Amino acid sequence: MDSTNGNGNAGSLGSGGAGGSGRPPDWNQSSKKGGAGGGHGVLSTTTYDISSYSTVSLVISQIGSGGTGGTGSRGDGGAGGTGLVKYNISTSGPEEVFLGTQSGIENLTLGFNQTWSRPTRSTGTSYQNTTNKPIQVQVMALAGSGGTSYFEVSTDNLTWVIVSGISDHDGRSTFGGIVPPTHYYRVRINSGSLSVLVWAELS
């Protein structure tokens, strides 16, 4: 309650406001009551059938407003708090329902706010994806006679998984893969030689 003008403060989310202050007793006048607190905010509820959509987003643009505070001879009650929004998404099928923030979804999307670049890389050297999103690595190379090379990914820079590769009978070929956040990646020459012509990364 605001003691300066005797009016009650507005309520918090979903709650009513405080009542206004009463007039303090004095030697020549009687005390008077303050105003009543405002009513609680209305509950905003809307139901949609989303079963036929493959992509669904939740946007809250407006919620119910609180009731007006009552009036009193000493001060008015505060306005009620804004309405409380509740939502629930459910499905009866086997598909998973994911609800997240826009930035969270963007962080999971390969290619969103990412660009291709041509960094300087060397075969046999491991590199780490230090971003918070997956990256794409593409290498165009030419394997020498009897040569075989692999693009590999690792979670700990120790144990490697072969994702793709190139051999001498492939001629000039492109190989690479997707690297999750914090993972390591490299091009390893297994046998023979390898001439890297283009190394490009989407990050």
pLDDT tens across the length of the chain (203 residues): 444 456 666 665 556 666 665 555 554 555 555 666 666 565 556 676 766 776 666 665 556 666 666 666 666 776 666 665 555 555 556 565 665 666 667 777 888 889 999 999 999 999 999 998 999 999 999 988 888 999 999 999 999 999 999 988 767 889 999 999 999 999 999 999 999 999 999 99
Is the domain of 47 the same as that of 130? no
Domain boundary among 74, 99, 124: 99
Taking alpha carbons only, the member of 52, 56, 133, 47 closest to residue 97 is 56
- 153 part of a folded domain: yes
Domain boundary among 67, 99, 131: 99
Is the domain of 175 the same as that of 93? no
- 105 part of a folded domain: no
CA atoms within 13 A on the CB side of 11: 26
Partners of residue 139 on adjacent β-strands: 175, 199
| Burial class of residue 84, CB neighbours in 10 A (0-12, 13-18, 19+) | middle
Taking alpha carbons only, the member of 104, 109, 108, 116 closest to residue 203 is 116
Q: Which domain holds residue 32?
A: 1-99
Q: What angle do CA 160, 166, 169 make, to 5 degrees?
A: 150
- 189 part of a folded domain: yes
- Is the full-model pTM beyond 0.85? no
User: Total structural domains in the chain?
Assistant: 2
Is the domain of 48 the same as that of 130? no
Domain boundary among 99, 119, 149: 99
Taking alpha carbons only, the member of 170, 185, 192 closest to residue 122 is 185
- 70 part of a folded domain: yes
Is the domain of 67 the same as that of 159? no
Is the domain of 88 the same as that of 28? yes
pLDDT at 112: 84
pLDDT at 101: 65
Is the domain of 129 the same as that of 162? yes
Q: CA-CA-CA-CA torsion for 35, 38, 39, 44, nearest 10 degrees?
A: 170
- 104 part of a folded domain: no
Is the domain of 141 the same as that of 191? yes
Secondary structure (3-state) at 46: coil
pLDDT at 108: 72
